[in-house]
Amino acid sequence: MNKKLISFLSALVVLFSTSVLKAEIGVGISAAFVSLETDGSETLRDSGEVTKGSHSEDLLVPELFIEHITDNGGAIGISYIPARELGNKSRSDTTTSGDGQDTGTYTAKAELKNFIMVYGEYPVYSAMGGNAYVKGGISNTTINTQEALNNGSSYGDQNVMGYQVGLGFKSDIGGNYYGKLEATYSDFDSYKDSSEATLGANTISAETEATAIRLSVGYKF
């Protein structure tokens, strides 16, 4: 995990805890236009061959959030996404070395499940009736694997940590409603596992990162 980001969020907690004179609570929903990039490798159980690949996918992801808004326009909050698909990709292997057990169709499919992030927003500039801010967050999510291997084996689900950094602009839009527009980058810890099968085990390693444009509408009270 990025130690600088952890220090940054710790500093935000200390700063905001001293500036809650007019603190408010905000709840809302976001629509994130996300570009996911996953790079991975697989070591085949029979031949020992290492294959590498990448998968890109653009998604529209809904997100819920609740945050503690301070009088200086900053915030500390929690966001939640029920599931975020990482993609679905198939390949055919015709390896004939050894006993030929590598031959077959392999389908790689996974999703990020129950994504939860704790984040901080720190205002850096006021303009046009709103505040520009920098954002940092630490997340935890479950990588739920749904692959299909030719011998019926599978990989296990894993919890992974991640971080997010970005820039945004927040402004009131009437009454108690406010809006936010953000550009963010997210990176997740590597997923590594070996399949369980009587015919032998394949081994995979994958890393996922995401860039996003996020539009949010919140209500404060």
CATH number 2.40.160.20 given to 3-220? yes
Cα separation values, 100 from 47, 146, 194, 219, Å: 8, 24, 19, 60
Look at residue 92 in the predicted model and tell me its pLDDT. 47
The predicted structure's pLDDT at residue 159: 83
Residue 11's pLDDT is what? 58
113 or 218, which is more confident?
Answer: 218
Q: Give the model confidence (pLDDT) of 72-82 as tens digits.
A: 888 999 999 88
pLDDT of residue 63: 94
Q: In whole angstroms, what is the distance from residue 125 CA to residue 205 CA?
A: 41
Sorted by sequence, the CB contacts under 8 Å of residue 153 that are 6+ apart come out as: 195, 196, 197, 199, 201, 202
Region of 175 please: left (phi>0), alpha (psi -120 to 50) or beta: left
Spatial separation of the C-alpha atoms in residues 69 and 105, rounded to whole Å: 51
pLDDT band at 12 (very low <50, low <70, confident <90, very high): low
**pLDDT above 70 (res 21):** no
Average pLDDT, the chain: 76
Residue 29 has pLDDT above 90, yes or no: yes
| Distance in angstroms (rounded) separating the CA atoms of residues 181 and 201 | 45
pLDDT of residue 125 exceeding 60, the answer is: yes
Cα–Cα distances in Å, from 22 out to 17, 126, 158, 173? 12, 18, 41, 19
Q: Which two tokens stand for residue 157?
A: 């689900």
pLDDT reading at 203 higher than 50: yes
Query: What's the pLDDT score for residue 180?
Result: 97
Q: How far is CA 145 from CA 42, 123, 131, 140, 150, in A?
A: 14, 38, 40, 16, 15
What is residue 109's predicted lDDT score, i.e. its pLDDT?
A: 59
- With 80 as the cut, is the pLDDT of residue 4 above it? no
Structure-model confidence comparison of residues 100 and 207, the more confident one:
207
Q: What is the pLDDT averaged over residues 101-130?
A: 76
Q: Concatenated DSSP letters for 118-143?
A: EEEEEEEEEETTEEEEEEEEEEEEEE
Question: In the chain, what are the domain boundaries?
Answer: 3-220
User: What is d(CA 179, CA 78) in angstroms, rounded to the nearest whole number?
Assistant: 17
Does the pLDDT at position 67 exceed 60? yes
